[in-house]
C-alpha cells in the first residue's frame, strides 16, 4: 500500500537529439515526464512505496506511460483510464547563451478533462501518510483545480501531510489566475516548495536585492520570503530553491528552508548541466524523503539539494539516482571520480 501519493499529469516528452534545434533533423527522442510523476519516480527509487494518480487514455500511448512508471516501481493502480489524448511537451535543449525551450501541446488531455467522481479519494488515500501536488495541476483546467481541492480536503481529514511545489508556469496561466486558484489551496498545505520566482509570480512576495535574469540572488532575502509565506499561510515549512544561471549549461544551485523562526541554507553546487528539466521535482522528492524519514531540517535540505544536483546530470525528466549516491554527494564526495 502506497505511503505517499502524488497527483498530476504525465506527458509524452519529445526532444531533438543532443543540442539540435527543433527539426534540425528528422528524429526526436520520446520519453515520459511531468512534475508529480517525476516526484513519484524519485521517491520510489529511494525505496518509498509511492503511487501516482492521473487519468490516461485507454490506448497504447497511455499504456506506455503506465509501463514507464511501473518500471521504477511506482504504484499505478489508481490511474483512471479514459479520454482521448496524452499531453505532449516538446523540449529543445539550450547551450551557452541560448536558452532551452518548452512548447506545450497538452490542451484537452485526459487529465485536463477529468471530473469529480473519476477519483475515489478515500480509497486512494487508504493507509497513505503524505499527499503531494504542484501548481501545474490546477493550472490545467477548472476541473483539475476542483480535483486538487477535493484531494486536499480528503487528505486533511485523514491528518496526512500535504506538500505543494508552487511551480508557476506562465504558459499555462497568468499570475492573477494562479493567485485566485492557489491561494485557497494553501489552507491545506503543510510544506510549501518554491523556486526563486514562484512566490513573486503567484503571491507578489519578492526577495529584496535580487535579479533573477541578471544572475543575482540575495540568498538572505529569501529567508524573508519564506517567513512571509509561513506567516501568511501557516505552513509548517517553506523551502526555496536558489538557481543562479550563468548560462544554459552552467548554474549555481542551492536551497534554503525555514520553519518561521530559523532559516537553513544548503551548500552551493557548481553544476555543468546535462538536463535541467525535472531539477525542481527532484528537489521536492528529496525534501519529502528527508522529512518523511525524520531527518533534521538541515539534513533533509542537504539531501534534497544533493538529489537535485545529481538530477542535472541525468537525461530525461526522471531522477535515476539512489539514496546512497545522494548521501555520498551530500557528505562532500562531489569529485565525479570513477567508482571501481
> For the segment 267-279, what is each residue's pLDDT rounded down to a tens digit?
999 999 999 999 9
pLDDT score at 25: 95
**How do residues 149-202 score in pLDDT, each as one tens digit?**
999 999 999 999 999 999 999 999 999 999 999 999 999 999 999 987 899 999
Helices 279-292 and 297-311 pack at an angle, to 10 degrees, of 150
Q: From the candidates 165, 190, 198, 281, give the one annotated as an active-site residue.
A: 281
**pTM across the whole model:** 0.94
Q: How far apart (Å, rounded) are the C-alpha atoms in residues 131 and 36? A: 10
CA–CA dist 206, 248 (Å, integer): 24
Which grid cell sits at 219? 540568498
Q: How far apart are CA 314 and CA 320, in angstroms?
A: 7
CA distances from 105 to 38, 86, 88, 202 (A): 19, 9, 5, 23
pLDDT of residue 305: 98
- What residue ranges of the chain have pLDDT lower than 70? 208-217, 338, 340
Task: Please say if 190 is a catalytic residue.
Answer: no
Q: What pLDDT is recorded for position 281?
A: 97
**φ, ψ of residue 5 in degrees (nearest 5):** -115, 130
CA gap 183, 193 in Å, rounded: 14
Give residue 195's pLDDT.
Answer: 87
CA 210-212-214 angle, to 5 degrees, is: 95
Q: What is the pLDDT of residue 287?
A: 98
Contact 132, 157 (CB under 8 A): no
Amino acid at each position: 500500500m502506497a505511503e505517499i501519493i502524488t497527483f498530476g499529469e504525465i506527458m509524452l516528452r519529445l526532444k531533438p537529439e543532443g543540442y539540435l534545434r527543433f527539426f534540425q533533423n528528422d528524429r526526436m527522442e520520446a520519453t515520459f515526464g511531468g512534475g508529480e510523476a517525476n516526484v513519484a519516480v524519485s521517491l520510489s527509487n529511494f525505496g518509498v512505496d509511492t503511487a501516482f494518480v492521473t487519468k490516461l487514455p485507454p490506448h497504447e500511448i497511455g499504456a506506455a506511460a503506465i509501463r514507464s512508471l511501473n518500471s521504477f516501481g511506482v504504484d499505478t493502480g489508481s490511474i483512471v483510464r479514459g479520454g482521448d489524448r496524452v499531453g505532449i511537451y516538446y523540449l529543445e535543449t539550450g547551450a551557452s547563451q541560448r536558452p532551452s525551450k518548452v512548447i506545450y501541446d497538452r490542451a484537452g488531455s485526459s487529465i485536463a478533462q477529468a471530473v469529480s467522481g473519476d477519483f475515489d479519494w478515500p480509497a486512494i488515500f487508504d493507509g497513505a501518510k503524505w499527499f503531494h501536488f504542484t501548481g501545474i495541476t490546477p493550472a490545467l483546467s477548472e476541473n483539475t483545480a476542483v480535483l486538487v481541492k477535493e484531494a486536499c480536503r480528503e487528505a486533511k481529514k485523514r491528518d496526512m501531510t500535504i506538500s505543494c511545489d508552487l511551480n508557476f508556469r506562465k504558459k499555462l496561466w497568468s499570475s492573477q489566475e494562479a493567485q485566485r486558484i492557489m491561494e485557497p489551496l494553501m489552507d491545506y498545505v503543510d510544506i510549501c516548495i518554491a523556486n526563486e520566482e514562484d512566490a513573486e509570480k503567484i503571491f507578489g512576495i519578492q526577495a529584496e536585492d535580487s535579479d533573477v535574469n541578471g544572475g543575482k540572488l540575495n540568498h538572505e532575502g529569501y529567508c524573508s520570503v519564506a517567513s512571509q509565506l509561513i506567516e501568511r499561510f501557516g505552513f509548517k515549512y517553506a523551502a526555496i530553491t536558489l538557481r543562479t544561471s550563468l548560462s544554459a549549461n552552467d548554474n549555481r544551485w542551492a536551497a534554503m528552508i525555514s520553519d518561521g523562526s530559523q532559516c537553513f541554507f544548503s551548500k552551493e553546487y557548481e553544476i555543468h548541466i546535462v538536463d535541467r528539466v525535472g531539477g525542481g521535482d527532484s528537489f521536492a522528492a528529496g525534501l519529502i524523503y528527508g522529512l518523511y524519514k525524520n531527518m533534521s531540517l538541515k539534513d533533509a535540505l542537504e539531501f534534497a539539494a544533493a538529489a537535485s544536483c545529481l538530477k542535472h546530470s541525468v537525461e530525461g525528466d526522471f531522477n535515476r539516482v539512489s539514496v546512497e549516491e545522494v548521501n555520498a554527494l551530500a557528505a562532500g564526495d562531489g569529485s565525479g571520480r570513477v567508482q571501481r
